């Protein structure tokens, strides 16, 4: 994610401080008149006063522009009276228009009518060629891109196990704070999660440096140097997941690794192992499973784990490899943001096979609006996904993070 994501698209040009004698006389004559605001079709507002209007906070979405006037108690900036000509404050000029939630600014046209009324119109700034305005995924707070590698202290709980994600005192969730923004467009969207990062130094480095920043990365809880890799991935703009090992049906013959959550272990042991995994690194939006066919199909084993995940404000991503998984049912019941994979992209580690699966993923997205694929951080998988993603964007497919396609019951 580049540092331009939160850069306002609108700005203010310093007004000409020279005022004619006629303007000064007009200003003196109209001093003390009341301010009347009128919202007209969402396009702007008018203020009848000789005093200059307070700056507006403008929020631009894909379809609408809303204008909110600051409270009357706020101090009014000292600006010269408008001249009889149209004064336009457009994007790219010096200064900044106040912004809301990191979204765009606006163009402001101010005119003085013949009867002495000051009329100000607020309208969207034409988007620059650098890309669409990015909207915060999930309607959340989000991080400044320059600070994306640092944990937000408001959603961190200090425990003996280490720093764990937690809902903030004001209710904000890690699932929102660490989410990657997206355009909000209505076109076909594809999310791809690449897992297994942290298990190999060369593999992790290759994936982070090769994959487009829109690809979501899942770090294995039992990997190495996870904080280091997290920081590098977040600086590059990736959204992250924590990949937790769950018990498969043929466990322990098929062992997902240290810290595996098992059906027989019971709630206390499984929560301890879950928290130990959660404390390995920070700045992730949610949990995803590594294996887990047996565990994810056991209601008794799943209930305390999913409840803890939901209470901490995390999302859950099911990689789709367990046909009997109950994660979607628990997510709906506990109001947990949830997504599940449509396709495993690299069931065979062959470039041609992976590209065919990616094309199939695109067809699903064009038919349904969204599609989700999952892969592992093998070199052949990473290279194929990177090449395909760049070509798909040119075909009008928007590559988004997993939070942008997750079903969030709290927002319905």
Q: Per-residue pLDDT averaged across 88-113, rounded?
A: 39
**120 pairs with which residues across the strands?**
110
* Per-residue pLDDT at 138: 41
**Do residues 241 and 402 touch, judged by C-beta distance below 8 A?**
yes
Tell me, yes or no, whether 198 lies in a domain.
yes
What pLDDT is stored for residue 118 in this prediction? 53
The answer on 187 and 71 residing in a single domain is no
Is residue 131 assigned to a domain? no
Q: What is the 3-state secondary structure (H, E, C) of 205-274?
A: HHHHHHCCCCCEEEEECCCCCHHHHHHHHHHCCCCEEEEEEECCCCCCCCCCCCCCECCCCCHHHHHHHH
pLDDT at residue 97 in the model: 31
Among the candidates 70, 90, 124, a domain finishes at 124
∠ Cα 271 277 283 (to 5°) = 120
Q: Is 206 a domain residue?
A: yes
Q: What is the mean pLDDT of residues 331-347?
A: 97
- pLDDT classification of 119: cutoffs 50, 70, 90: low
Compare 353 and 33 and report the one with higher pLDDT.
353
Domain termination residue (choose one: 65, 95, 124): 124
Mean pLDDT computed over every residue of the chain = 77
Higher pLDDT pick, 117 / 204: 204
pLDDT in tens, 283-313: 999 999 999 999 999 999 999 999 999 999 9
Based on the fold, state whether residues 106 and 154 are members of the same structural domain: no
Tally helices (H) and strands (E) across the chain: 9, 18
* Domain span including residue 76: 21-124
Same domain? For 224 and 354 the reply is: yes
Q: What is the pLDDT of residue 264?
A: 98
- Per-residue DSSP letters for 310-327? HHTT-EEEE-S--TT--H
Q: Does residue 389 carry a pLDDT above 60?
A: yes
Same domain, 97 and 200: no
The mean pLDDT value for 111-131 works out to 48
| First-to-last C-alpha distance (Å) of the chain | 28
Q: What percent of the chain has pLDDT over 90?
A: 63
Estimate the crossing angle of helix 201-210 against helix 226-235, to 10 degrees: 10
In the three-class reduction of DSSP (H, G, I as helix; E, B as strand; rest coil), residue 124 is classed as strand
Structurally, the chain folds into a number of domains equal to 2
Model confidence at 410, in pLDDT bands (50, 70, 90)?
Answer: confident
Strand partners, 192: 373
Does 297 lie in the same domain as 205?
yes
């Amino acid at each position: 994610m580049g540092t331009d994501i939160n850069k306002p698209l609108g700005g203010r040009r310093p007004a000409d401080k020279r005022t004619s004698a006629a303007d000064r006389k007009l200003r003196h004559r109209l001093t003390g008149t009341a301010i009347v605001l009128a919202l007209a079709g969402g396009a702007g507002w008018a203020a009848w006063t000789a005093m200059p209007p307070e700056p507006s906070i403008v929020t631009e979405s894909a379809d609408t522009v809303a204008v909110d006037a600051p409270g009357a108690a706020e101090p009014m900036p000292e600006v010269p009276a408008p001249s009889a000509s149209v004064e336009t404050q457009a994007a790219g000029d010096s200064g900044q228009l106040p912004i809301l939630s990191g979204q765009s600014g606006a163009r402001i046209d101010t005119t003085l009518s013949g009867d002495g009324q000051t009329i100000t119109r607020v309208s969207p700034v034409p988007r620059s060629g650098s890309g669409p305005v990015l909207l915060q995924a999930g309607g959340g707070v989000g991080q400044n891109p320059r600070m994306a590698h640092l944990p937000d202290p408001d959603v961190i709980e200090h425990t003996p196990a280490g720093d764990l994600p937690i809902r903030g005192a004001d209710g904000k969730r890690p699932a929102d704070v660490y989410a990657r923004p997206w355009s909000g467009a209505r076109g076909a969207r594809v999310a791809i999660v690449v897992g297994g990062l942290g298990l190999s130094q060369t593999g992790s480095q290759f994936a982070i440096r090769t994959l487009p920043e829109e690809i979501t990365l899942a770090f294995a809880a039992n990997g190495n140097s996870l904080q280091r890799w997290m920081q590098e991935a977040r600086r590059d703009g990736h959204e992250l997941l924590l990949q937790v090992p769950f018990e498969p049906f043929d466990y322990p013959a098929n062992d997902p690794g240290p810290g595996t959550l098992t059906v027989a272990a019971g709630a206390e042991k499984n929560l301890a192992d879950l928290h130990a995994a959660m404390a390995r690194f920070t700045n992730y939006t949610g949990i995803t499973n590594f294996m887990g066919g047996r565990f994810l199909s056991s209601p008794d084993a799943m209930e305390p784990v999913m409840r803890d995940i939901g209470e901490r404000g995390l999302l859950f991503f099911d990689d789709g490899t367990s046909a009997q998984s109950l994660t979607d049912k628990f997510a709906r019941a506990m109001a947990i943001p949830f997504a599940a994979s449509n396709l495993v992209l690299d069931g065979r580690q062959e470039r041609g096979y992976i590209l065919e699966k990616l094309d199939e993923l695109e067809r699903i997205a064009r038919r349904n609006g969204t599609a989700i694929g999952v892969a592992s951080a093998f070199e052949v998988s990473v290279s194929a996904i990177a090449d395909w993603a760049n070509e798909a964007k040119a075909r009008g497919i928007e590559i988004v993070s997993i939070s942008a396609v997750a079903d969030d019951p709290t927002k319905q």
